[in-house]
Amino acid sequence: MQTRFTEDELAVQDAFRTFFANESPSTVVREAERAGGFSADLWNGLAAMGGPGMALPGSVGGGDATLCDLAVVADVYGAHLAPVPLVEHAVAARLLATIGGYDELVVELANGGSLATMALRPLVDGIARFVPAGAVADVVLGHVDDGIVLDRSMPPGDALPNTGGLPLAHRRLANNLISVDHVAWSHAVDEWRALTAAAYVGLGRRVIEMGVEYSRERIQFGVPIGTFQALQQGYADASTRMEGAHLLAHRAAWALETRQPDASRLAGIALLFAAEAARFATDRSMQYHGGYGFSEEYDVQLYHRRATAWILQLGDPSLEYARLADAEFGPVDGGKAA
Amino acid sequence: MDFSFPPEAEAFRQEVRDFLATNLTEDMIEATHDGTMHIPGLHRAMADRGWLAGPVPAALGGGGRSPLESVILNEEMQLARAPIDAMGVTVIVAAILLEHGNDHLTQHVVPRLLDGSSLACFGYSEPEFGSDVASAKTKAEQDGDGWLINGAKMWTTMAHIADYVLLLTRTDPDVPKHKGLTFFLVPLDTPGIEIQPVPTMAIERSNATFYDDVRLDDAWRVGDVHGGWSVMKTALKYERGIAGGQFPSPPVIDAALDWAQTHTRPDGTKPIEDPTVREKLVRALIDVEVCRGFAYHCADLANEGVMFGVEGSMTKLFASESYKRHCRDFHDMMGAEGLLTHESADAHLGGRIEENLRHSPVTTIYGGTSEINRNVVAEGHLGMPRAR
Ligand SMILES: Cc1cc2nc3c(=O)[nH]c(=O)nc-3n(C[C@H](O)[C@H](O)[C@H](O)COP(=O)(O)OP(=O)(O)OC[C@H]3O[C@@H](n4cnc5c(N)ncnc54)[C@H](O)[C@@H]3O)c2cc1C
């Protein structure tokens, strides 16, 4: 049992914290948003650090890091709202490496020369709608009845204008079946869930931190607003939920990495809880910023919009609850619960 | 990170499960409906296995079992619906005595607390002071070699079956409130003590205790004269860490699932087919996993000798607030049938959900209210200014 980061994990955290703090300040996030939600400079910088391939096998030029390490990076990435699809890319590349037979492509993905993603929603008539990073990825993996398809094509560049300023796009995927391993697909989506949960923790903790900093500076009624207990109680609640989410997200990553029997369940749980906790945290922080929080100028709105958007890439959260319910209690079938 | 338990801890979990399967009977749980959340037979059987002494640090003369095992013991007991109140308090008092007590207390009292033959209770709260417990005014005055105690305590739960009360008193009214406090371990059969029941809206009872010219030898003093606040800090450390209360929800969720799968609604459907019910059940299961994360995290910190405070407050805050929500959700789900109490032969599973619904409000009040725990998080974790 080790419920705090190990020395190695702390070293990873440190390196990426410095990188994102320097290379992904909110000016970069804002600029990228105007350009469709992606910063090529940031991606190249990340590639120079070995970020895109860190959790791929060394044999294909990867860094041999674990999913647990990746979750540490996802946390930092979330804290800075980094406008690069690190989570989608890492998960898709790992899936392709698992499927095997695409070493040359995986090498490209490891060094960041190519950008991969997963179409999280099932394909309809060859079209994947709302593909995360679909606007910028030249490698898209999708799930069809028969298995997993691989599409390599020029990304459209333009994103669908959306709440979170994310590089979302619809993509037509080539009918190029590369695997019939449905379990591998589910495992990859679970990795996405766990890593996105970790990113939500970074986001939620940071938005609380920003709010607490602001509460020291903003004076009303002659005192800093941070002395008002209403703010303290709200931030304490939000912070408690974020810490709970933190323990869940990394437990899920550990469970997936070590193939625990409840890994998939934990990944689903971690995402739902972390998303809701982070949305609560952004709501509190915006509220306690007062009117300025709502203004374009303050960063809290960037966090608020992304907290809303990230989980919706997977669909209505109710469907995620329903999915977990089916696994726990059996599906509702023909009017009868199994 | 690594969330696996060492093999010894896994083996211990199995041992506890087996123990509870044979030693905890429905009749025993039934007997707690007299309002006393204690099962003497179970308590002694646990003491015989050395489990009461288990969580107490070995350096202090306890069992020195890993805090991971303490959390497992608590978790399994709560999952099995075994009351942990009296056991938890008694073990904490033993740990406090071992850390702050004199030879008399450690050699004559602690062994009896840990072998299951004596029980202790907490006497901190007063009619006028609860959250602001450092303002307690029950008075202890030097009286020759000993002490003379006068005052009143409120919410002295278990006093009616306990042998000792760990009493917070004021020994100097003229200094800042934290500096004039002293603790005593008071045998409850000492002349001058009166215990009156305080019924509650749930099945559990508490007590008001009165101290009228209670004479006590100095050997019963715990810690330094005026050093009460440092004893209090030890007490809170153990209470929010070891004492449990992290897993109140699972028995409620079990009962709710049973109802959802077996009850037929007027329209012929079962609640389990209703997406809103399914979502509530899943949300409750998610909250339980959050509690697990917190509980294991606290145990891991304790295991590494890290003194935790904020983490204990977060655990208590989240577990109690979510438990209250679960009780309300599942009581609602049952509609009018959920109103039936334990006394009704028709009550579902002996009225378990109704009973929890009525118990749940106190969990965000006692042991430090949610507001107080949020203050701890705001100040201790977020570095916000002290608001009181
Ligand atoms: C069934 C039961 C069993 C108990 N068992 C024991 C026991 O065995 N031993 C024992 O010593 N005590 C026991 N208690 C007492 C318990 O610890 C207190 O009730 C609790 O600490 C709250 O104190 P209070 O009831 O005086 O409420 P108050 O302190 O009067 O609080 C009233 C309200 O004001 C809020 N409040 C107070 N201070 C602040 C603040 N600084 N910031 C924000 N809000 C604040 C509180 O959160 C609460 O909502 C028990 C209580 C109950 C109900």
**So what's the ipTM on this one?**
0.96
Interacting residues of A250 by C-beta distance below 8 A, sequence separation 6+: A68, A71, A72, A198, B1
Mutate to test the pocket of ligand 1, among B366, B373, B374, B388 (most ligand atoms within 8 A of CB): B366
| Protein residues with CB under 6 Å of any ligand 1 atom | B 121-125, 130-131, 155-157, 200, 206, 362, 365-366, 369, 371-372, 375, 388
Can you spell out the DSSP letters for B261-290? HH---TTS--GGG-HHHHHHHHHHHHHHHH
What is the distance between the alpha carbons of residues B77 and B7, in angstroms, rounded to a whole number? 20
Q: Tell me which chain B residue has its CA closest to the CA of residue A260.
A: B4
Per-residue CA distances from B130 to A165, B45, B60, B168, B185 (Å): 50, 34, 30, 12, 20
Q: How many angstroms separate the alpha carbon of residue B387 from the centre of ligand 1? A: 17
Count the Cβ atoms, other than its own, within 10 Å of residue A329. Answer: 20
Q: Are B272 and A269 an interchain contact pair (Cβ–Cβ within 8 Å)?
A: no
- What is the predicted pLDDT for the residue at B61? 72
3-state SS string for B190-239: CCCEEEEEEECCCCCEEEEEEEEEEEECHHHEECCCCCHHHHHHHHHHHH
> A222 is in which domain, residue-wise?
185-331
> Where in chain B are all domains bearing CATH 1.10.540.10?
7-119
What is the distance between the alpha carbons of residues A208 and B268, in angstroms, rounded to a whole number? 47
Residue A209 lies in a domain: yes
Q: Which residues of A touch B377 (CB under 8 A)?
A: 236, 239-240
Q: How many angstroms separate the alpha carbon of residue B126 from the centre of ligand 1? A: 10
What is the distance between the alpha carbons of residues A224 and A216, in angstroms, rounded to a whole number? 5
Say if residue A108's pLDDT is above 90. yes
Q: A337 falls in which pLDDT band (50, 70, 90)?
A: very low
Q: A274 falls in which pLDDT band (50, 70, 90)?
A: very high
Instruction: Pick the closest to residue A51 from A15, A99, A78 (CA basis).
Output: A15
Q: Which of A215-224, A262-271, B60-69 has the lowest mean pLDDT?
A: B60-69
- The pTM is what? 0.96
Shortest distance between the Cα of B222 and any Cα of chain A, in A, equals 34
Residue A7 lies in a domain: no
Fold (topology level) of B7-119? Butyryl-Coa Dehydrogenase, subunit A; domain 1 (1.10.540)
- What is the predicted pLDDT for the residue at B349? 97
- What is the predicted pLDDT for the residue at A81? 98
Say if residue A338's pLDDT is above 70. no
CATH number of residue A275's parent domain: 1.20.140.10
Residue A161 lies in a domain: no
- What is the predicted pLDDT for the residue at B243? 58
Percent pLDDT > 70 in chain A is 99
Q: Tell me which chain A residue has its CA closest to the CA of residue B261.
A: A337
Q: Tell me which chain A residue has its CA closest to the CA of residue B290.
A: A244
Decide which of B244 and A218 is more confident. Answer: A218
Count the Cβ atoms, other than its own, within 10 Å of residue A59. Answer: 12
- Each residue of A196-232: b (16+ CB within 10 Å) or e? bbbbbbbbbbbbbbbbbebbeebeeeeebbbbbeebb
Tokens of A316: 């209505």
Check: CB of residue B44 under 8 Å from CB of residue B116. Answer: yes
| Per-residue pLDDT tens listing for chain B (388 residues) | 999 999 999 999 999 999 999 999 999 999 999 999 999 999 999 999 999 988 777 777 778 788 899 899 999 999 999 998 889 999 999 999 999 999 999 999 999 999 999 999 999 999 999 999 999 999 999 999 999 999 999 999 999 999 999 999 999 999 999 999 999 999 999 999 999 999 999 999 999 999 999 999 999 999 999 999 999 998 887 776 555 689 999 999 999 999 999 999 999 999 999 999 999 999 999 999 999 999 999 999 988 888 778 999 999 999 999 999 999 999 999 999 999 999 999 999 999 999 999 999 999 999 899 999 999 999 999 999 987 6
Identify the CATH number of the domain defined by range B245-381: 1.20.140.10
- What is the predicted pLDDT for the residue at B388? 65
Q: Are A337 and B261 an interchain contact pair (Cβ–Cβ within 8 Å)?
A: yes
Residue A93 lies in a domain: no
Q: How many angstroms separate the alpha carbon of residue B286 from the centre of ligand 1? A: 28
> Where in chain B are all domains bearing CATH 1.20.140.10?
245-381
Q: Are B3 and A227 an interchain contact pair (Cβ–Cβ within 8 Å)?
A: no
Check: CB of residue A37 under 8 Å from CB of residue A166. Answer: yes
What is the number of structural domains in chain A? 1
Shortest distance between the Cα of A258 and any Cα of chain B, in A, equals 9
Average per-residue pLDDT for chain A: 97
Q: How many angstroms separate the alpha carbon of residue B51 from the centre of ligand 1? A: 30
Q: Are B300 and A4 an interchain contact pair (Cβ–Cβ within 8 Å)?
A: yes
Instruction: Pick the closest to residue B89 from B25, B34, B137, B159 (CA basis).
Output: B159
Percent pLDDT > 90 in chain A is 98
Amino acid making up residue A283? D
- What is the predicted pLDDT for the residue at A335? 47
Mutate to test the pocket of ligand 1, among B369, B371, B386 (most ligand atoms within 8 A of CB): B369
Q: How many angstroms separate the alpha carbon of residue B203 from the centre of ligand 1? A: 19
A149: left (phi over 0), alpha (psi -120 to 50) or beta: beta
Residue A64 lies in a domain: no
Q: Please report the beta strands in A189-287, taking only residues with DSSP state E, as ranges in sequence order.
A: 219-220, 223-224
Q: Are A236 and B270 an interchain contact pair (Cβ–Cβ within 8 Å)?
A: no
Residue A134 lies in a domain: no
Which residue's alpha carbon is at the smallest distance from atom 44 of ligand 1?
Answer: B371
Check: CB of residue B214 under 8 Å from CB of residue B195. Answer: no
Mutate to test the pocket of ligand 1, among B129, B203, B231, B365 (most ligand atoms within 8 A of CB): B365
- What is the predicted pLDDT for the residue at A334? 52
Long-range (24+ apart) CB contacts under 8 A made by A222-228 are A224/B385, A225/A288, A226/B384, A226/B385, A227/B385, A227/B387, A228/B387
Say if residue A107's pLDDT is above 90. yes
Q: Which atom of ligand 1 is nearest to the CA of B369?
A: 47
CA geometry: angle B14, A265, A177, nearest 5 deg: 135
B22 shares contact with chain A (CB less than 8 Å): no
What is the distance between the alpha carbons of residues A70 and B3, in angstroms, rounded to a whole number? 17
- What is the predicted pLDDT for the residue at A94? 98
Instruction: Pick the closest to residue B294 from A180, A37, A273 (CA basis).
Output: A273
Tokens of B141: 């005055």
Q: Is B198 exposed, middle or buried (0-12, 13-18, 19+ CB in 10 A)?
A: middle
Q: Which of A186-200, A263-277, A322-336, B285-299 has the lowest mean pLDDT?
A: A322-336
What is the distance between the alpha carbons of residues A269 and A246, in angstroms, rounded to a whole number? 12
Structural element, H or E, at residue A147: strand A147-152
Among candidates A1, A5, A9 on the partner chain, residue whose Cβ is nearest the Cβ of B296: A1
Q: Are B286 and A269 an interchain contact pair (Cβ–Cβ within 8 Å)?
A: yes
B378 shares contact with chain A (CB less than 8 Å): yes
Q: Which residues pair with A337 in a beta bridge?
A: A332
Residue A300 lies in a domain: yes
Say if residue A211's pLDDT is above 90. yes
Fold (topology level) of B121-232? Butyryl-CoA Dehydrogenase, subunit A; domain 2 (2.40.110)
Residue A39 lies in a domain: no
- What is the predicted pLDDT for the residue at A24? 97
Report the Cα B28 to chain-centroid distance in Å.
19
* CB < 8 Å from B in window 303-332 of A: 318, 321-322, 324-325, 328-329, 332
Q: Which residues of A touch B375 (CB under 8 A)?
A: 229, 232-233, 236
